[in-house]
Amino acid sequence: MSGTRPSKAKDGGSGRRAVVLLSGGLDSATVLAMARRDGFACHALSIDYGQRHRGELACAARIAEALGAVDHKVIRVDLRAIGGSALTDDIAVPHHASVSEIGSDIPITYVPARNLIFLSMALAHAEARGAFDIFIGVNAVDYSGYPDCRPEFIRAFECAASLATRAGVQGRPFAIHAPIISMSKAEIIAAGASLGVDYGLTTSCYDPPGAGLACGTCDACLLRRQGFVDAGVPDPTRYAVTPT
Amino acid sequence: MSGTRPSKAKDGGSGRRAVVLLSGGLDSATVLAMARRDGFACHALSIDYGQRHRGELACAARIAEALGAVDHKVIRVDLRAIGGSALTDDIAVPHHASVSEIGSDIPITYVPARNLIFLSMALAHAEARGAFDIFIGVNAVDYSGYPDCRPEFIRAFECAASLATRAGVQGRPFAIHAPIISMSKAEIIAAGASLGVDYGLTTSCYDPPGAGLACGTCDACLLRRQGFVDAGVPDPTRYAVTPT
């Protein structure tokens, strides 16, 4: 159809390819919408790392389709063999009554070196496909205090990425895009809503009780809920316990 | 036994723990012996990445046992899903008649971002076990031109590692040790032999023809064979075609 805007085509119209890390949550869905807006043909990549909340992988597939990714790949890496986190080990996910109870320490849901592993796999995927841009939905504002969500880590990875690869050595450096790193959760939701992201396709809960519900009391549910309230956007999530 | 030297105990005697990436080849076996010599209690880590020559994983287990690692873990990451290399895709491994025919370009056996992925997983394993030293057997002299075997990459990773992790943020940086990075293959073999490494337990071949043989004509076989010749150490490898 000649009436279709080029930016809506899966190839992005610009000829530029990107790998977008897609967890199934709202942050990375928003980042995929931003990469599409910016004209990238997007290879969505999800990592099956043995996460407790692996229902997010099915969400990622639906988001990739809805937002016009070229393709969506799920790659397995067994981080349960390493453990050390409530998301990959037999450790209980913490629950709180409200967002104000979330502490400032790095929580037990921290997965050792997770974003470094994910970015490394995205880099391999990008190099094998001739893409030189990688998008990741890390956020250093309304987040859980994870060290690998900070700008200084992203810059250090970008440096290592170009030194680690054939493309980098041959003068084609990789750019790591973290477009929501300095945004509040409310700003992320407002931006995604304006780009047409259907947040009903996304999931954030670390400890889903089943039946398509979110628990409503883990850190991820509490931060998500507060973000929708602050953005003035209806929250499509069905919570077992509505967060306050 | 009071007569046992502390350095021979699996705990290394120093109380320092390390993760040692162990491929099953001669370089990483030598590095494990060096880490043991230096008093580290060593957690050996091998990655099952879908490599063509996966027989090396059984070798790694035997080497870890022989050299007194505390334990040996194999973690799976499916790099076949990414492909782009003769080691992980349906691409033929190059063969040559002699070591002089190996080109200077990065060869098709290059696996995109492999050492970055492996070091990231070693970092996760180290952090989960309270180890702050990681050993890797990269070598930038008699090697195959891989970009992720160079000192500048190792330094960049070391920087990213401490920024990526809880331990790093809390003031416990990680040290990445690459003790053979500037040694020739002959020097590596001589050093390992002096530390009692049984190179009969190791394998280097990218394209093993079966029956416990090495092909003798891939780059890895050619470089290995030349190293033993130059070191004046008997080569225990059984080659299908003896390299010249």
ipTM of the complex: 0.87
Whether A117 and B120 lie within 8 Å, measured CB to CB: yes
Yes or no, beta carbons of B165 and A148 under 8 Å apart: yes
Strands A133-135 and B71-76 come out as: unpaired
CA distance to partner chain A, nearest, from residue B110 (Å): 8
pLDDT of residue B144: 61
Query: Residue A50's domain is classified under what CATH number?
Result: 3.40.50.620
pLDDT digits (tens, 9 = 90+) for A190-199: 999 999 999 9
Q: Which of A75, A114, A148 sits opposite B81 (nearest CB)?
A: A75
Asked if residue A32 is part of any domain, the answer here is yes
Say whether B121 and A124 touch across the interface (CB within 8 A). no
Contacts of B163 in chain A (CB under 8 A): 147-148, 150, 152-153, 156
Considering the domain boundaries, does residue B16 fall inside one? Answer: yes
Question: What is the DSSP-derived secondary structure letter of residue A93?
Answer: P
Residue A89 falls within a domain, yes or no?
yes
Residue in A closest to B117 by C-alpha = A120
- Tell whether B27 is covered by a domain: yes
Give pLDDT, residue B142.
64
Q: How much is the pLDDT for A142?
A: 64
CA distance A76 to chain B (A): 6
Pair of tokens at residue A166: 């054939």
Contact B110/A166, CB-based, under 8 Å? yes
Q: DSSP for B86-152?
A: TTTSS-PPP--SSGGG--SSPPTT--TTHHHHHHHHHHHHHHHHT--EEE----SSSS---GGGSHH
In this structure, is residue A36 part of a structural domain? yes
Specify the range with the lowest mean pLDDT, choosing from A69-73, A83-87, A194-198: A83-87
The size of the A-B interface in CB pairs under 8 A is 147
pLDDT < 50 regions, chain B: 1-7
Would you state the pLDDT for residue A169?
81
By CA distance, what is B84's nearest residue in A? Answer: A128
**Range with lowest mean pLDDT among A45-59, A103-117, A200-214:** A103-117
pTM of the model: 0.89
Q: Which pLDDT score is estimated for A46?
A: 96
- Residues shown for chain B: 244
**Report for A57-61, A137-141, B140-144: range of highest mean pLDDT:** A57-61
Is residue B166 within 8 Å of A106, Cβ to Cβ? yes
Model confidence at A109: pLDDT above 60: yes
Residue A144 has pLDDT above 80, yes or no: no
Q: Is A19 exposed, middle or buried (0-12, 13-18, 19+ CB in 10 A)?
A: buried
- Per the structure, the count of domains in chain A is 1
Residues of A in contact with B150 (CB under 8 A): 163
CB A76 within 8 A of CB B76: yes
Residues spanned by the domain of A84: 6-93+111-199
Helix (H) or strand (E) holding B20: strand B17-21
Is A105 inside a domain boundary?
no
Three-class SS state of A135: strand
DSSP code of residue A111: P
Is B161 inside a domain boundary? yes
Considering Cα of A31, then A33, then A37, then A43, what sign does the dihedral take? positive
Tell if the CB–CB gap between A164 and B152 is shorter than 8 Å: no
The answer to whether position B166 is within a domain reads yes
Query: Given A112, A121, A161, which is nearest B165 (Cβ)?
Result: A112
Q: What is the DSSP letter of A77?
A: B
